[in-house]
Structure 1
Amino acid sequence: RILQPVGALAAISSFLVPRGAAAALLAAGWLLVCALAGLAGLLPAASLGFLAVGGAWLVAYRGALALGYSPPIVELTATHFHYAGFAATLMSALAYSVLRSRISAAAGLLVVIGTPLTAAGIATGTAALTVIGPILLAAGLLTNAALTAFLIAPRQPNRARWLLIVSSLAVVVPMLLGVDYAAARVFPIPSLDLRTMALVHGDLNAVAYALIGLAGWSQA
């Protein structure tokens, strides 16, 4: 808890200097916080594992380490593991801790499986992984969102209830766009371009779903 603001400041500072060794060193401050959180075991193991992976990819991006991929892909991978990985898995775990149902467990499992499969599809370009990963991830997230909105949120205090409902509704469009974008990489169907996807899919998931959702859970 004490180190988290320091690590966050280091991550932000890494964007204030040119990409290279200095930026990577600053980003490593966030990686250290991510790794310590994973070792502490204070949160579900899967979400913390994704958090550490996201921190490592942030270091790669800010350190100008291409790793065989274009800079936007490295950046988006770091973002993906922070939000689709850490935040979504954490909220799935919180939902399961309340409901203790098979459906909520299955939804969480789909998120855990879908997150690395989506990344693997991007990394390898394998058609099956490119499509299956986002479908599994979307299925898990949307199921968890429905459970949260209809079964969990109504039991919560007023502010937490509305934050959780807004978060649950906000994830629908970006996840459907994500599946469409992935499918368009394999099949001849229309989709948004990468830049627009980053703005729409990325920002809605990061702010409206993850940030507002975690705020709601913190007050539940």
Structure 2
Amino acid sequence: MGKGTTELVDLLVLLGMGAVLPLGLALIDEPGLARVRRLWPLAAVPGALSLWLPRGGLATGCALLYALGTLLVALHAPLRLARTRSLAAAEVAVLTALTAPSVAGVALVAERSGYPLFGFEPHILALTVPHFHYAGFTAALIAGLVCRADHGSRPARCAALSVPAGTLLVLAGYFLGDWWQFAGAVVLSAGMWLVGLISWRELRPRTADRATARLLAASSAVLALTMLLALWWALGRAAGLPHPTLTWMAATHGLGNALGFALCAVLAWRRITTTVETHR
């Protein structure tokens, strides 16, 4: 990756670490996460600092503190499963959201140290970090929330299961080849398009708050384009066809998903949950 692309990816990771992830954690009704959210700056600040330090011991140490924070979040997944004893579609999505940041945290430690984890070069690991903040964490979380809000309808259940499955297939593609990544992109895109469609057609009209409706509309509309770009890139890689460069993907797919989908979606759901709590 060029310097400009690396800086843009780092900015997207900063947004994920400092805003999207803590806002998203506040939407998960899990005992114990409130303390994690209060202590989150102890992980996010060194994590952000690691991105601006040159690769080496100090950057690795800062990244390790962030990784420990993500592992603390991931520990709530088995605790939640033991408490709820549920593998309903919405729960699968939430469990995925809890575990996904730890993949990003481990990748960040390896990338900042310059270690080729599982044989992957640092630039691949650097792209893994934002992917598991946004596709892994935010997309799965929003899919789970949408599934609950739509009362577990069949499309909503499909979305809540497709997003985790697609993310897992994309991860498998790192090891099994480009066609697996393309399959993951297809499944993930289908799930995200369902999330956007349900948010636009079912949830947006229900909200009386204009700002919330606009945030839901923005997050839904952005997905139509950004996930199409993901399919184009994955198919081009697998089939040897012309496809966007990583620089172009970071500036379009990455920036659109981070700002247009993830940030808008978590802000919309924050307003929705605040309204529900106020009227209890």
Pairwise same-fold verdict (TM > 0.5): yes
Partner deviation per Cα, 1:109-136 (whole Å, 9 max, x = no partner):
1110000211221333252x12211000
Matched, 1:55 2:105: yes
**Structure 2 spans left out of the alignment, 5+ residues:** 1-36, 81-90, 273-280
C-alpha distance in structure 1 between counterparts of 2:127 and 2:161, whole Å = 23
- How many residues were matched structurally? 219
Partner deviation per Cα, 1:136-182 (whole Å, 9 max, x = no partner):
00000011111011111222222111111101111211110110111
Corresponding position of 1:4: 40
In structure 2, give the amino acid aligned to 1:80.
Answer: H
C-alpha distance in structure 1 between counterparts of 2:111 and 2:175, whole Å = 15
Partner deviation per Cα, 1:26-83 (whole Å, 9 max, x = no partner):
1122212211122234792111111211111112112222221222211111111111
| Shift, 1:183, TM fit | 0.5
Q: Which piece of structure 1 moves more, 35-44 or 208-217?
A: 35-44
| Shift, 1:85, TM fit | 0.5
| Shift, 1:188, TM fit | 4.3
C-alpha distance in structure 2 between counterparts of 1:187 and 1:31, whole Å = 35
Q: Percent identity?
A: 33
C-alpha distance in structure 2 between counterparts of 1:26 and 1:20, whole Å = 10
Corresponding position of 2:203: 152
Q: Superposition RMSD on alpha carbons, in Å?
A: 1.6
From 45, 64, 78, the counterpart of 2:114: 64
Partner deviation per Cα, 1:90-122 (whole Å, 9 max, x = no partner):
000110111121211111111100002112213
From 57, 60, 69, the counterpart of 1:21: 57
TM-score, scaled relative to structure 2: 0.74
Name the SS for the 1:189 alignment partner.
coil
Contact conserved, 1:130 with 1:185, CA < 8 A, in 2? no
Name the CA shift for 1:61/1:138 in 2 (closer, same or farther; >3 Å). same
Contact conserved, 1:131 with 1:183, CA < 8 A, in 2? yes
In the TM superposition, 1:39-118 aligns within 5 A as 39-41=75-77, 44-67=94-117, 68-99=119-150, 100-118=152-170
Contact conserved, 2:226 with 2:256, CA < 8 A, in 1? yes
C-alpha distance in structure 1 between counterparts of 2:267 and 2:65, whole Å = 24
C-alpha distance in structure 1 between counterparts of 2:135 and 2:252, whole Å = 15
In structure 2, give the amino acid aligned to 1:169.
Answer: A
In the TM superposition, 1:179-194 aligns within 5 A as 179-194=231-246
| Shift, 1:10, TM fit | 1.2
TM-score, scaled relative to structure 1: 0.94
